[in-house]
Structure 1
Amino acid sequence: MELNAADEQTAVVSALSAGLLGSVNESLGAPMAPAWEAAFRGVPRHAFLPGTVWVGDELAECSREAAPAEWLGHAYADTAVVTQVNDGDDGDTVAPGERWASCSASAPSIVFRMLDLLDVRAGHRVLEIGTGTGWNAALLAHRLGPGRVTTIEVDPALAADAGGRLEDMGLDVRAVQGDGARGHEAGEPYERTIATCSVRTVPPAWIAQTRPGGVVLVPWDSPWFCYGLLRLTVDGYGGASGFFSPHSAFMLLRGQRTDLRIYRDVVRDSHVPEESTTRLSPWAVAGEDCAAQFAIGLQLPHVWRAWHENPDVEGVDSRLWLADTDAASWAAVDLDGRTADRFTVWEHGPRRLWETVEAAYGWWREAGSPGPERFGMTVAPDGTHVPWLDVPDSPVPVLL
Structure 2
Amino acid sequence: MASRLKESGALTSDWLPTFAAVPRELFVPDLMWPGRAKGTGAGQGEAIDRNEDPEAWFSAVYSDVSLTTQWDDGQHSGTGKGRTPTCSNSQPSMVFSMLDALDVQETSRVLEIGTGTGWNAALLSERVGPGNVVSVEVDEENAKSARERIESAGYHPTLIVGDGFEGHREGAPYDRVLVTAALTEVPHRVIGQVRTGGIIVAPYATTYGGEGVVQLTVQRDGSAVGHFVGSSAFMRLRQQRQKRRHVRDYLGGKPWPADGEKSMTTISPEEVGDWLPMFAIGLQTQGMFPWAEYYDDGTYTLWLRDAAVTSWATVDYEPGRDEFEVYQSGPRDLWDEVAVAYLHWDNMGRPEFGRFGLTVDGETGEHTPWLDHPSSPLRPVC
Q: Which bin holds the TM-score, normalised by the shorter protein?
A: over 0.9
> Against the structure 1 CA distance between its residues 251 and 264, is the aligned structure 2 distance closer, same or farther, given a 3 Å change threshold?
farther
Which of the pair has more CA radius of gyration?
1
Aligned to 1:73: 59
Alpha-carbon distance between aligned partners in 2 of 1:316 and 1:80, rounded to the nearest angstrom: 29
Aligned to 1:231: 215
Aligned to 2:38: none
Aligned to 1:244: 228
> Against the structure 1 CA distance between its residues 155 and 226, is the aligned structure 2 distance closer, same or farther, given a 3 Å change threshold?
farther
Alignment-mate amino acid for residue 33 of structure 1: S
Aligned to 2:355: 374
Alpha-carbon distance between aligned partners in 2 of 1:133 and 1:264, rounded to the nearest angstrom: 38
1:91-130 to 2 correspondences below 5 Å:
91-92=77-78, 96=81, 98-130=82-114
1:142-157 to 2 correspondences below 5 Å:
142-157=126-141
Structure 2 residue 48 is the aligned partner of structure 1 residue 52: no
Aligned to 1:220: 204
Alignment-mate amino acid for residue 155 of structure 1: D
Asked if structure 2 preserves the Cα contact closer than 8 Å seen for 1:223 and 1:305, the reply is: no
Q: Cα distance, 1:296 vs. partner?
A: 0.6
- Structure having the higher helix fraction is 1
Asked if structure 2 preserves the Cα contact closer than 8 Å seen for 1:316 and 1:334, the reply is: no
Aligned to 2:5: 24
1:1-400 to 2 correspondences below 5 Å:
20-28=1-9, 32-34=12-14, 36-55=15-34, 57=43, 59-92=45-78, 96=81, 98-263=82-247, 265-270=249-254, 271-286=258-273, 288=274, 290-310=275-295, 317-339=299-321, 341-381=322-362, 382-400=364-382
Q: Cα distance, 1:244 vs. partner?
A: 0.8
Deviations along 1:312-339, whole A, 9 cap, x unmatched? xxx9811111111222211110012231
Q: Cα distance, 1:92 vs. partner?
A: 2.0
Q: Cα distance, 1:81 vs. partner?
A: 0.7
Deviations along 1:243-265, whole A, 9 cap, x unmatched? 11222211111111112253365
Alpha-carbon distance between aligned partners in 1 of 2:182 and 2:312, rounded to the nearest angstrom: 25
Alpha-carbon distance between aligned partners in 1 of 2:115 and 2:57, rounded to the nearest angstrom: 21
Q: Secondary structure at the match of 2:29?
A: coil
User: What is the TM-score normalised by the length of structure 2?
Assistant: 0.93
Asked if structure 2 preserves the Cα contact closer than 8 Å seen for 1:226 and 1:250, the reply is: no
Deviations along 1:285-304, whole A, 9 cap, x unmatched? 11x3x332221110013210
Percent identity, aligned pairs only, is 40
Deviations along 1:266-289, whole A, 9 cap, x unmatched? 444334211111111111111x3x
Alpha-carbon distance between aligned partners in 1 of 2:252 and 2:229, rounded to the nearest angstrom: 39
Deviations along 1:42-85, whole A, 9 cap, x unmatched? 11101101121023546532111122111111111111111111
Alpha-carbon distance between aligned partners in 2 of 1:263 and 1:189, rounded to the nearest angstrom: 45
Q: Cα distance, 1:172 vs. partner?
A: 2.1
Alpha-carbon distance between aligned partners in 1 of 2:182 and 2:307, rounded to the nearest angstrom: 17
Q: Secondary structure at the match of 1:60?
A: coil
Asked if structure 2 preserves the Cα contact closer than 8 Å seen for 1:207 and 1:239, the reply is: yes
Root mean square deviation of aligned Cα: 1.8
Q: Secondary structure at the match of 2:60?
A: helix
Asked if structure 2 preserves the Cα contact closer than 8 Å seen for 1:84 and 1:103, the reply is: yes
Aligned to 1:8: none
Aligned residues: 371
Structure 1 unaligned blocks of 5 or more: 1-19
Deviations along 1:167-203, whole A, 9 cap, x unmatched? 1111121111111000001100000001001111101
Q: Secondary structure at the match of 2:272?
A: helix
Structure 2 unaligned blocks of 5 or more: 36-42
Asked if structure 1 preserves the Cα contact closer than 8 Å seen for 2:33 and 2:47, the reply is: yes
Deviations along 1:358-388, whole A, 9 cap, x unmatched? 1111211222221121111111121011111
User: What is the TM-score normalised by the length of structure 1?
Assistant: 0.89
Alpha-carbon distance between aligned partners in 1 of 2:210 and 2:151, rounded to the nearest angstrom: 33
